[in-house]
């Protein structure tokens, strides 16, 4: 029985005949054929696509090098340039006048940028960076909001072989400092401010603060884009306006041809222990998967208007804004604002105005827009013409079937397949996902691995489990766009992703999963480590605990757990022991606010705990271990059925019941 035929019990959505006929991967037989090709000749499969989709300066002769596993190398003797592949090559193909980016600002102003213009802008920034002494192998931090400048800055770094590390504009000065120090960045690219929901929020001032926190001596230059004439202080000799840097620069710039393994970017993400880790991605393998997934998962065609709503500060924005769609010569939207400004119809209006055909967003956004639409017809998708849509996508967290059905019916008009794409910062691109013109869809399941990707569900010993049994999600083979290492910490890379428990042979995703007993469809059951996913943002519980405990005048001890949340997927719940008796009432509220602001300052507003509970102690075993399972139950508001007899201090459970 083929996998498609087996989907019979769950509610199944089949792609329409027209969708199948037009799709790059047309029908399940085509999908299965691709999988079989990869199975039969793994290296040949990837090499073929790498030759077809990318333009190489020096063609590669080696495909996969496993000698120093798990530090795998792909296409190692080939050379190329990512920016050449995304820009020049499209201009050379006659797409110079095609719109590359439709930029819509927070206030609604629209700017269209052609491939020729984006190339010219990128070249000027690249030349500007070179004139300031930035070149191949240097690291550049980019701390800027969604903008054409942001995309061009990333492309410019790629052009000169500098490794970029984008820091999401919602991170604090402290988080920015940590990333500057860890990367040893030579330059920082930022803007005076960002504009979100009608408000100007500072960026340059946060860079200034970060640079005073110590450890940032590597930074020689700060380039500042003028977004909205916000007041900034410019340090003489260090800070320069981007406009001044690029003004006299030529609009052409010879790309730096780099080895396929050259680090294109570092992107920091949270793990279960320690500080965020700098995930290092390659140039060749990464770009291949970015392009191939755009071609197959999004079925991106010449006349599509693609919109990925993620921020360029996250991996989704890297792969599905800066690199993938441009590598294929697509037209895409870059949106500066927020989905609820000026009202919660913003996404639907933009889809209507720009005739968006492929739309990719996060379940959290959908869930919050459902709420708004149910309360007000004016912001309901039915009040807009969304007939241009043909494919919908979801990313970053599990999409619950109810939200899936609503998205399918009200946004997709019942006719657009939803690709629920499972992947991670470390994987570079989609790993488990439906293909729109092939895969029968089951709401809540990310279905089957992308062709060539070999995921499995195993037990603690690494033995593959039969379908129907939940376990640990692993990838059995290296793939081109995989994480290469953790910047500066190869041991942590090995330990985190290729643990000894699995003899260093399996890539550990950090998620649990179960495959449907009949179809083999994957459903992700959530993280198996101490990583939380709040609104699709990944955070380590330990990071938030450290941030709380760093409020030394108030906090003695803190434990953080996640709890399910209707809108944000998960919410941060902090249990805090103060250096004084547990407060109640107004005093507790006031202290909770101080602690939230403190976490906002240490990490960023996204990490602020939603719930804070105070106790004179935390529930611990007699050996002093915090009973996190118990805390999770308390956070969920469940009645405690677990055995609390081993608890050192059962009385504090009552105290921890009140949320502030």
Q: Which of 168, 384, 423, 493 binds ligand PRX (CB under 6 A)?
A: 423
Asked if residue 84 lies in contact with residue 55, where contact means CB atoms within 8 angstroms, the answer is yes
Q: Which is nearer to ligand PRX, 310 or 618 (CB)?
A: 310
Near ligand PRX by CB under 6 A, which window of 37-45, 90-98, 341-349, 418-426?
A: 418-426
Closest-approach residue to ligand PRX (CB):
425
Structure tokens at 311: 């921020």
Q: Which of 395, 411, 486, 513 binds ligand PRX (CB under 6 A)?
A: 395
Near ligand PRX by CB under 6 A, which window of 90-98, 338-346, 396-404, 499-507?
A: 396-404
Is 54 among the residues that bind ligand PRX (CB under 6 A)? no
In the region spanning residues 530 to 569, those forming contacts with ligand PRX, defined by CB under 6 A, are 533, 538
Is 422 among the residues that bind ligand PRX (CB under 6 A)? yes
Q: What residues contact 347, with CB distance under 8 A and at least 6 apart?
A: 309, 339, 359, 361, 365, 369
Structure tokens at 116: 């020729």
From the annotation, which residues make up the binding site for CoA? 196-199, 316, 535
Instruction: Tell me phi and psi for residue 468, to 5 degrees.
Output: 100, -15
Query: Could you write out the DSSP letters of every residue in 557-612?
Result: EEEEEEEEETTTEEEEEEEEEESSSPP-HHHHHHHHHHHHHHHHHHT-GGG--SEE
Q: Which is nearer to ligand PRX, 441 or 630 (CB)?
A: 441
Which DSSP category does 56 fall into?
Answer: -
From the annotation, which residues make up the binding site? 196-199, 316, 396-398, 420-425, 511, 527, 535, 538, 549, 555
- From 506, 458, 515, 500, select the one nearest 482 (Cα to Cα): 506
Rg, C-alpha atoms of the chain: 24
Q: Which is nearer to ligand PRX, 195 or 431 (CB)?
A: 431
E strand spans, 412-521: 418-421, 455-458, 471-475, 485-486, 507-515
SS3 348: helix
In the region spanning residues 247 to 276, those forming contacts with ligand PRX, defined by CB under 6 A, are 269
CB of 118 to ligand PRX, least distance (A): 25
In the region spanning residues 446 to 465, those forming contacts with ligand PRX, defined by CB under 6 A, are 446
Is 524 among the residues that bind ligand PRX (CB under 6 A)? yes
First vs last C-alpha separation in the chain: 54
Q: Which is nearer to ligand PRX, 115 or 265 (CB)?
A: 265
Structure tokens at 532: 């939380």
Q: What residues contact 75, with CB distance under 8 A and at least 6 apart?
A: 47, 50, 60, 62, 63, 260, 261, 284, 285, 288, 480
From the annotation, which residues make up the binding site for Mg(2+)? 549, 555
The mark string for 297-316 relative to ligand PRX (x by CB under 6 A, - otherwise) is: ------------------xx
Is 424 among the residues that bind ligand PRX (CB under 6 A)? yes
Is 527 among the residues that bind ligand PRX (CB under 6 A)? yes
Element (H, E) at 393: strand 391-395
Near ligand PRX by CB under 6 A, which window of 15-23, 198-206, 416-424, 560-568?
A: 416-424
Residues that bind ligand PRX in the complex, under the rule CB under 6 A: 269, 315-316, 395-398, 420-425, 446, 509-511, 524, 527, 533, 538
């Amino acid at each position: 029985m083929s996998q498609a035929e087996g989907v019979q019990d769950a509610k199944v959505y089949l792609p329409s005949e027209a969708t199948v006929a037009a799709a790059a991967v047309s029908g399940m037989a085509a999908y299965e054929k691709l999988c079989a090709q990869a199975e039969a000749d793994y290296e040949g499969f990837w090499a073929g696509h790498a030759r077809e989709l990318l333009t190489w300066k020096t063609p590669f002769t080696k495909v996969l090098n496993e000698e120093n596993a798990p530090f795998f190398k792909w296409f190692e003797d080939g050379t190329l340039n990512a920016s050449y592949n995304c820009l020049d090559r499209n201009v050379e193909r006659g797409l110079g006048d095609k719109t590359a980016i439709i930029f819509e600002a927070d206030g609604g102003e629209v700017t269209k940028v052609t491939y020729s213009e984006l190339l010219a802008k990128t070249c000027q920034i690249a030349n500007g960076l070179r004139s300031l002494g930035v070149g191949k192998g240097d690291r550049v931090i980019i701390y800027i909001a969604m903008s054409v400048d942001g995309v061009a800055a990333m492309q410019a770094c790629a052009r000169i072989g500098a490794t970029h590390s984008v820091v999401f504009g919602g991170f604090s000065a402290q988080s920015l400092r940590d990333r500057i120090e860890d990367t040893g960045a030579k330059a920082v690219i930022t803007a005076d401010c960002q504009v979100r929901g009608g408000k100007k929020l500072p960026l340059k001032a946060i860079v200034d603060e970060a640079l005073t926190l110590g450890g940032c001596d590597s930074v020689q230059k700060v380039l500042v884009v003028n977004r909205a004439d916000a007041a900034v202080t410019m340090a003489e000799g260090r800070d320069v306006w981007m406009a001044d840097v690029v003004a006299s620069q030529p609009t052409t710039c010879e790309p730096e041809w780099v080895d396929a393994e050259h680090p294109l970017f570092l992107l920091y993400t949270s793990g279960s222990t320690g500080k965020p880790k700098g995930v290092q991605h390659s140039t060749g393998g990464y770009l291949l998967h970015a392009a191939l997934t755009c071609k197959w998962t999004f079925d991106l065609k010449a006349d599509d208007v693609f919109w990925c709503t993620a921020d360029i500060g996250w991996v989704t924005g890297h792969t599905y804004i800066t690199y993938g769609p441009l590598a294929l010569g697509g037209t895409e939207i870059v949106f500066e604002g927020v989905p609820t400004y000026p009202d919660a119809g913003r996404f639907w209006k933009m889809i209507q105005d720009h005739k968006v055909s492929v739309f990719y967003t996060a379940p959290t956004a959908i869930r919050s827009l459902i709420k708004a639409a149910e309360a007000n017809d004016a912001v309901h998708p039915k009040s807009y013409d969304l007939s241009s849509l043909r494919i919908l996508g979801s990313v970053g967290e599990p999409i619950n079937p109810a939200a899936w059905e609503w998205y399918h019916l009200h946004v997709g008009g019942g006719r657009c397949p939803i690709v629920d794409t499972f992947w991670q910062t470390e994987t570079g691109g989609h790993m488990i996902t439906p293909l729109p013109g092939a895969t029968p869809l089951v709401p809540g399941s990310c279905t089957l691995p992308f062709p060539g990707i070999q995921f499995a569900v195993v037990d603690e010993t690494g033995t593959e489990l039969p379908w129907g049994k939940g376990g640990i999600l692993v990838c059995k083979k290296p793939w081109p766009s995989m994480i290469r290492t953790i910047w500066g910490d190869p041991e942590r890379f090995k330990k985190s992703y290729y643990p000894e428990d699995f003899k260093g042979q399996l890539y550990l995703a950090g998620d649990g999963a179960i495959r449907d007993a009949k179809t083999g469809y994957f459903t992700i059951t959530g993280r198996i480590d101490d990583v939380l996913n709040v609104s699709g943002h990944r955070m380590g519980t330990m990071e938030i605990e450290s941030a709380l405990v760093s409020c030394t005048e108030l906090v003695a001890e803190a434990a953080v757990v996640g709890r399910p949340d209707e809108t944000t997927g998960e919410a941060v719940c902090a249990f805090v022991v103060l250096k004084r008796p547990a407060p109640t009432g107004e005093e507790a509220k006031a202290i909770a606010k101080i602690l939230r602001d403190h976490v906002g300052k240490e990490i960023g507003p996204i990490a602020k705990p939603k719930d804070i509970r105070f106790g004179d102690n935390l529930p611990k075993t007699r050996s002093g271990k915090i009973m996190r399972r118990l805390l999770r139950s308390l956070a969920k508001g469940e009645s405690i059925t677990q055995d609390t007899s081993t608890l050192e201090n059962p009385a504090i459970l009552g105290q921890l019941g009140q949320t502030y």
